[in-house]
Structure 1
Amino acid sequence: MALKEKENYQQSVKIPKPITYSAKALQAISTKLASKFVKKLFATPIKHPIPKRELSMDAAALKEKMYVPSIKKEIVVYSYGENTKKVLLVHGWSGRGTQLAKIADALLCEGFCTVSFDAPSHGRSPGKTSNMLEFIDAVIEINKHYGPFETAIGHSLGSMALLNAVKKGLPLKNMVLIGSGDLINDIIYDFTRKLGLKDKVGKTLKQEFDKLAKEDVNNFSASIAAKDVAIPVLLFHDEDDPDSPIASSKNIHKNLKNSQLIVTKGLGHRKILGNDQVINKLVEFIKKD
């Protein structure tokens, strides 16, 4: 089956119509007002309740609060298992520290323990808004307190954060990325277009994030960070992922020095995290290196 190289980002969670109406109404008044509204909306994760499949890990893991000085925020860290070989797990946007529970259980059986966390303003961590830059800072700070790690596994935005963290010096033997996003420009403009807004609102929103990053925020795109990553990387991406196009992982794969891309079918963006075949290949890769 031929796959398109260029695809749009999608959102499996539909944006409520009252929100799109509000965004359009503000746009009619002022681009600045619309951008301010969308910036807050874009930066506000949804805190989902913990599903039953994650309750065992949630109950067994040691939970500790950790302060991240660079962003002046507190996060909740989960230490799961007592083995000495550590694996860092990084969830995606609107995720939580137990989201990769089935992967964590498989790793425990293979002699690893896992460290994961509720990213700023996610799960049990306090706050209302966050961004990928805060994910990166949280990963680097966790390594100082809980590392060193043998490897790390990221999902979605967590994959993007890990690539940037490794680029900044996070020491790992290898890394696994699942359903990663890629170009920040595309993600921003796709979000504003789905709200029915003109691209000038997306441009203003992007400029706001440039100020926050103190550089072109698109420099933090996954495929750009990948150019500076030399460790072995295994990528998984479903060809029918409704949240992130498979072109994202293809672009990342092209720019990595040592990587393998495995394409799945029918697992979407989240079901892939619990698939036995994916988990077996993931564990085999980690143990091999």
Structure 2
Amino acid sequence: MTLALSEGITCRKVVFLAAVCWLSNSLTKFAKLNRLSPEIEVKLRFLMEEKFGKEVWERVSVDRRVANLHIPALLFHDTGDREVDFEESRAIAQAWHGAQLVATSGLGHKRILRNERVIQQAVDFINF
């Protein structure tokens, strides 16, 4: 979504849940989750850079992509999320002019999707 927005797609407002900011972190988490060896992770990084260029990590960093956006954004992220670190949403919110970060607690990465309060806040934000 942020790639599309930074490339000119328009919308009135956006809501993100447990947003990923850095592809590099996602690759590391993927490797750990799938119990890949450090050598395999290094090979995956090499293949990514070979296919998309060495600057791929910076080019797709969401905090860099959103720096020039002026679309109101509401981000929700649980401080105890074990899949995507809370700091990723914090970095996005700090870089994005007009973004607001709502921290939750006790919802983790998946329960945040079904939390009635989060859903209602998102709906209210989009509708008003």
TM interval, short-chain normalised: 0.7 to 0.9
In structure 2, what is the equivalent of residue 184 of structure 1?
Answer: 23
Task: State whether structure 2 residue 2 is matched by structure 1 residue 169.
Answer: no
1:139-162 Cα shifts (integer Å, max 9, x gaps): xxxxxxxxxxxxxxxxxxxxxxx1
Distance 1:190 1:279 in 2: 27
1:113-137 Cα shifts (integer Å, max 9, x gaps): xxxxxxxxxxxxxxxxxxxxxxxxx
1:46-75 Cα shifts (integer Å, max 9, x gaps): xxxxxxxxxxxxxxxxxxxxxxxxxxxxxx
Ranges of 4+ aligned residues in structure 1 off by more than 6 Å: none
Aligned amino acid, residue 86 of structure 2? I
* Corresponding residue SS for 1:262: strand
Distance 1:170 1:196 in 2: 36
Distance 1:287 1:264 in 2: 21
Identity %: 25
Gaps of 5+ in 1: 1-161
Task: Give TM-score scaled by structure 2 length.
Answer: 0.86
- The number of equivalent residue pairs is 126
Distance 2:51 2:14 in 1: 28
Cα 1:205/1:286, change in 2 over 3 Å: same
- Give 1:169 shift: 1.2
- Give 1:247 shift: 0.6
1:72-92 Cα shifts (integer Å, max 9, x gaps): xxxxxxxxxxxxxxxxxxxxx
Greater gyration radius = 1
**1:274 counterpart (111, 114, 123):** 114
- Give 1:212 shift: 3.0
In structure 2, what is the equivalent of residue 232 of structure 1?
Answer: 72
Contact 1:163 1:229 in 2 (8 A): no
Contact 2:70 2:96 in 1 (8 A): yes
Contact 2:13 2:73 in 1 (8 A): yes
Higher relative contact order (CA 8 A, sep 6+): 2
Task: State whether structure 2 residue 63 is matched by structure 1 residue 223.
Answer: yes
Distance 2:53 2:69 in 1: 22
Structure whose residues are more often strand by fraction: 1
Gaps of 5+ in 2: none
Aligned amino acid, residue 47 of structure 2? E
Cα 1:265/1:187, change in 2 over 3 Å: same
Aligned amino acid, residue 212 of structure 1? K
- Give 1:216 shift: 2.3
Contact 1:179 1:238 in 2 (8 A): yes
Cα 1:193/1:287, change in 2 over 3 Å: closer
- Give 1:205 shift: 1.3
